[in-house]
Amino acid sequence: MTLAARSSGMEFLLTDEAPLLSVGGVSRYLKSLLAGDPYLVRLWVSGEVSSCQRNRNGHLFLTLTDPETGDVLKGVVWQGQTSRLSFWPEVGQQVLALGQLGIYSGGSHYRLVIWQLLPAGEGLLALRFQQLKARLSAEGLFDNQRPLPVHPQCIAVVSSPHAAGWGDIRRTLNQRYPGLRVLFSPAQVQGEAAPESIVRAIRRVEQDGRAEVLLLARGGGASEDLACFNDERVVRAIAECRIPVVTGIGHQRDETLADYAADYAAHTPTAAAERIVP
């Protein structure tokens, strides 16, 4: 059956092939689409909190805004989840929201049902760290546990020649194990060029073939100074190295993905040197 209609000079054809849905039917159909999309059932959303209000039932309603485009996304934290939030958002804050996108039938609009909130900045770096850590762990890059030689005759050190940690390593090795042959493979250990520089230094040691163990070291610093040791290229170079790798990066409180990929991770460059030689 075909029904023709004319309005404002335009002709419309209503045919049997075109579906007919009620308003509720449209909402239910969109809900089913969102519920079946693996990308939208669990995702992180970044944005600025442009409104934040808790209603009398204890639910927290947010509006997240994209500062660049002006797009807005409504969000809600149900009352039972508010006590589990890691922090309480305020208007003007940049945040990361973890949740599920869904359709609110009563208002026929989509919104984010939020499970967790993190402040952007350090929160974003921590999120990326954990995501990369989980992915590399699933690949088996953190499974290295090769034994270190008991009495090494030749070791290699990858570090900056200007780093205080390199001086600490030399003093420790000379005091504990005189006569040890030490090959130094210089690298940048801070900045944008550092990951490629570290990878090249590790490759030089492997190509040389004399070292029985490799020590990758850098002294302490701010978290951003150690970012190169969380770079995927560096992690893969350590995991794929043909000889055991010992890391001595930062201070005791510091944790990098390079430490996870190494065969042994010490808290400092000095502690790493102490671990390598008797």
Q: Which position has the token pair 């150690």?
A: 226
Tokens of 87: 């922090």
Q: What pLDDT is stored for residue 14 in this prediction? A: 57
Under CATH, which architecture does the 154-276 domain have? 3-Layer(aba) Sandwich (3.40)
Q: How far lies 111's CA from each of 56, 62, 67, 105, in Å?
A: 20, 10, 18, 11
pLDDT, tens digit, 9 for 90 and up, residues 146-162: 999 999 999 999 999 98
The Cα–Cα gap between 13 and 191 comes to 64
67 by DSSP, 3-state: which? coil
Q: What pLDDT is stored for residue 206 in this prediction? A: 97
pLDDT, tens digit, 9 for 90 and up, residues 55-93: 989 999 999 999 889 899 999 999 999 999 888 898 988
User: Would you place residue 8 in the very low, low, confident or very high pLDDT band (cuts 50, 70, 90)?
Assistant: low
pLDDT, tens digit, 9 for 90 and up, residues 218-268: 987 777 788 899 999 999 999 999 999 999 998 766 789 999 999 999 989
Q: What is the pTM of this model?
A: 0.64
Q: What pLDDT is stored for residue 17 in this prediction? A: 72
42-119 is classed CATH 2.40.50.140: yes
DSSP secondary structure string for all residues of 182-210: EEEEE---SSTTHHHHHHHHHHHHHHH--
Report whether pLDDT(1) > 50. no
Q: What pLDDT is stored for residue 24 in this prediction? A: 84
The Cα–Cα gap between 70 and 113 comes to 20
Report whether pLDDT(6) > 60. no
Report whether pLDDT(10) > 70. no
List, by residue range, all CATH 2.40.50.140 domains of the chain.
42-119
Q: What pLDDT is stored for residue 171 in this prediction? A: 94
Report whether pLDDT(53) > 70. yes
Q: What pLDDT is stored for residue 5 in this prediction? A: 54
Angle between helices 232-239 and 122-138 (to 10 degrees): 30
The Cα–Cα gap between 204 and 143 comes to 23
Q: What pLDDT is stored for residue 16 in this prediction? A: 58
Sheet of 245-249: strand order equals 181-186, 154-159, 213-218, 245-249, 264-266
CA atoms within 13 A on the CB side of 249: 26
pLDDT, tens digit, 9 for 90 and up, residues 11-36: 555 555 778 888 888 888 888 888 88
The Cα–Cα gap between 235 and 261 comes to 6
pLDDT, tens digit, 9 for 90 and up, residues 170-211: 999 999 999 999 999 999 999 999 999 999 999 999 999 999
Q: What pLDDT is stored for residue 77 in this prediction? A: 96
List, by residue range, all CATH 3.40.50.280 domains of the chain.
154-276
DSSP secondary structure string for all residues of 114-133: EEEEEETTHHHHHHHHHHHH
- Phi and psi torsions of 64, nearest 5°: -105, 135
Tokens of 253: 């409180």
The Cα–Cα gap between 43 and 144 comes to 32
